[in-house]
């Protein structure tokens, strides 16, 4: 399958769904997008969600994806994909869907938003963020945000957000109790809870979490959170 964004061949990933279902999704790392055939994203098991979460973290560390063209076409039928706005709880996200129900294309950032891995900062966290850094790159489009004047990206309108470490911890806890064929380190939820505390503690006092603030300033808050988790997991960044 060719990517609707850049036209290059996408990488197929075989994943597991609920009740032993087999899923095959397609990923373009260059554009940082995922293609799901109809309803595949709703069938992902906790283990498959963790695999995609890790993939997104590794690819995001390599740099931001290519800008997508204004017109995207379905890789199944070549019909124009329709931009669609949706909401998961209080978090808005967007994707492009085929009107013939062949599937949908979603970016890495919006996939994390859909799965509740990303949340806007609280007013207190925004205040503490401004005490540590002056600018931060938008995790959605990459544009710089002047923290002295704005709390959202002036280019795409995305509020300044961070990775929700509590959600990441809960996902791994679900994975432990899911019927997965591969073993999971029983200490992983506890260690992710520690990572969560360390990341959130960076908002607790000026000058703490120097590495986190450096990553946040140069890459973005979401990317810094992903990096904190992947660093503990021992995966390449």
pLDDT for residue 121 = 85
| Residue at which a domain ends, from 114, 130, 164 | 114
Shared domain for 110 and 125, answered yes or no, is no
Longest dimension (CA), the chain: 53
Per-residue pLDDT tens digits for 38-51: 888 888 887 788 88
User: Does 1 fall in a domain?
Assistant: no
Q: Place 178 in a pLDDT band, splitting at 50, 70 and 90.
A: low
Say if residue 101's pLDDT is above 60: yes
Shared domain for 79 and 132, answered yes or no, is no
Strands (E), 49-116: 82-88, 91-97, 103-107
| Residue at which a domain ends, from 53, 83, 114 | 114
Cα(223)–Cα(60) distance, rounded to whole angstroms?
A: 7
Check residues 190 and 237 and name the one with the higher pLDDT. Answer: 190
Query: Phi-psi category of 223—alpha, beta or left, where left has phi over 0 and alpha has psi -120 to 50?
Result: alpha
Shared domain for 161 and 206, answered yes or no, is yes
pLDDT for residue 71 = 96
In the chain, the number of structural domains is 2
Per mean pLDDT, which range of 56-65, 105-114, 206-215 is the poorest? Answer: 206-215
Beta bridge partners of 161: 120
Shared domain for 108 and 153, answered yes or no, is no
User: Does 92 fall in a domain?
Assistant: yes
Whether 102 contacts 80, CB under 8 Å: no
Shared domain for 64 and 107, answered yes or no, is yes
Cα(167)–Cα(173) distance, rounded to whole angstroms?
A: 10
User: Does 131 fall in a domain?
Assistant: yes
User: Does 3 fall in a domain?
Assistant: no
Per the confidence metrics, is the pTM higher than 0.85? no
| Residue at which a domain ends, from 63, 97, 114 | 114
Shared domain for 88 and 108, answered yes or no, is yes
Q: Place 19 in a pLDDT band, splitting at 50, 70 and 90.
A: confident
Cα(128)–Cα(199) distance, rounded to whole angstroms?
A: 13
Strands (E), the chain: 11-16, 22-28, 33-37, 82-88, 91-97, 103-107, 118-120, 135-137, 144-146, 161-163
φ and ψ at residue 91, rounded to 5 degrees:
-110, 115
Mean pLDDT across the stretch 29-42?
92
Q: What percent of the chain has pLDDT over 90?
A: 30
Per mean pLDDT, which range of 118-132, 152-166, 178-192 is the poorest? Answer: 178-192
User: Does 2 fall in a domain?
Assistant: no
pLDDT for residue 205 = 38
Mean pLDDT across the stretch 102-120?
90
Per mean pLDDT, which range of 18-22, 27-31, 77-81 is the poorest? Answer: 18-22
Shared domain for 70 and 127, answered yes or no, is no
Shared domain for 49 and 151, answered yes or no, is no
What is the residue range of 150's domain? Answer: 121-233
Return the SS3 of 3: coil
User: Does 4 fall in a domain?
Assistant: no
Cα(15)–Cα(21) distance, rounded to whole angstroms?
A: 9
Shared domain for 109 and 34, answered yes or no, is yes
Q: Sheet of 82-88: strands edge to edge? A: 11-16, 22-28, 33-37, 103-107, 91-97, 82-88
Cα(63)–Cα(137) distance, rounded to whole angstroms?
A: 12
């Amino acid at each position: 399958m060719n990517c609707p964004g850049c036209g290059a061949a996408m990488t197929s990933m075989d994943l597991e769904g609920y009740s032993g279902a087999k899923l095959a999704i397609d990923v373009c790392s260059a554009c940082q997008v995922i293609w799901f055939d109809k309803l595949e994203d709703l069938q992902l098991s906790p283990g498959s969600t963790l695999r995609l979460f890790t993939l997104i973290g590794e690819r995001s560390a390599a740099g931001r994806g290519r800008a997508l063209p204004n017109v995207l076409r379905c890789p199944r039928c070549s019909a124009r994909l329709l931009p669609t706005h949706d909401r998961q709880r209080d978090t808005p996200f967007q994707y492009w869907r085929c009107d013939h129900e062949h599937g949908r294309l979603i970016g890495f950032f919006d996939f994390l938003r859909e799965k509740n891995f990303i949340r806007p900062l609280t007013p207190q966290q925004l205040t503490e963020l401004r005490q540590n850094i002056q600018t931060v790159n938008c995790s959605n489009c990459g544009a710089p945000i002047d923290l002295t004047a704005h709390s959202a990206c002036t280019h795409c309108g995305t509020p300044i957000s961070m990775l929700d470490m509590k959600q990441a911890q809960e996902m791994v806890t679900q994975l432990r109790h899911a019927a997965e064929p591969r073993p999971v380190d029983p200490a992983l939820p506890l260690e992710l809870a520690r990572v969560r505390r360390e990341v959130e503690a960076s908002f607790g006092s000026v000058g703490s979490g120097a590495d986190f603030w450096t990553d946040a300033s140069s890459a973005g808050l979401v990317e810094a959170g992903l990096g904190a988790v992947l660093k503990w997991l021992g995966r390449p960044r």
